[in-house]
Amino acid sequence: MRKILQYLLLLTVLLSACGNSVSEKDLEGKWIYKKVSHLKENPPLIQEGAELQKKHPYLVITGENKLTIFSEDKVLSEGTYRLEGDIIRYEEVLEGGMKRKIPFLIKKLETNKLTFETMDNNTIQIVAEKE
């Protein structure tokens, strides 16, 4: 019985490690924001539709591990990233060469739809579609 339990535990660990693996190739492209939800607000503040599209927010991820965030066709943030399982470890380059690390958790990735959220006290969830 003990051997069976050990086998089941090992199998569970292996299956969870395989999980939903995301690759850099999966993320490459232009992702247009379709919905932005500020989850910590009470009630949650949700932007979508015409209100959100006026700002035309999107992000571009390239094969050189570069990530750029745009709004109203202006660069809001740019830097590099590395993928760690389902976490995008983004390092934003600020004025004067300062850097800030911002992790994003990938909640769901389908062929042309990406749902991710910030991993801080002010959780913001974004649903974006690949152009």
What integer pLDDT is reported at residue 64 of this predicted model?
Answer: 93
pLDDT tens track, the chain, 131 positions: 333 333 333 333 333 344 458 999 999 999 999 999 999 988 989 999 999 999 999 999 998 999 999 999 999 999 999 999 999 999 999 999 999 999 999 999 998 999 999 999 899 999 999 99
Distance CA 55, CA 80 (A): 23
Domain residue ranges in the chain: 20-130
Q: Return the CATH superfamily for domain 20-130.
A: Calycin beta-barrel core domain (2.40.128.20)
Q: What is the CA radius of gyration of the chain?
A: 18
CA-to-CA distance for 114 and 42, rounded, in angstroms? 25
Length, in residues, of the chain: 131
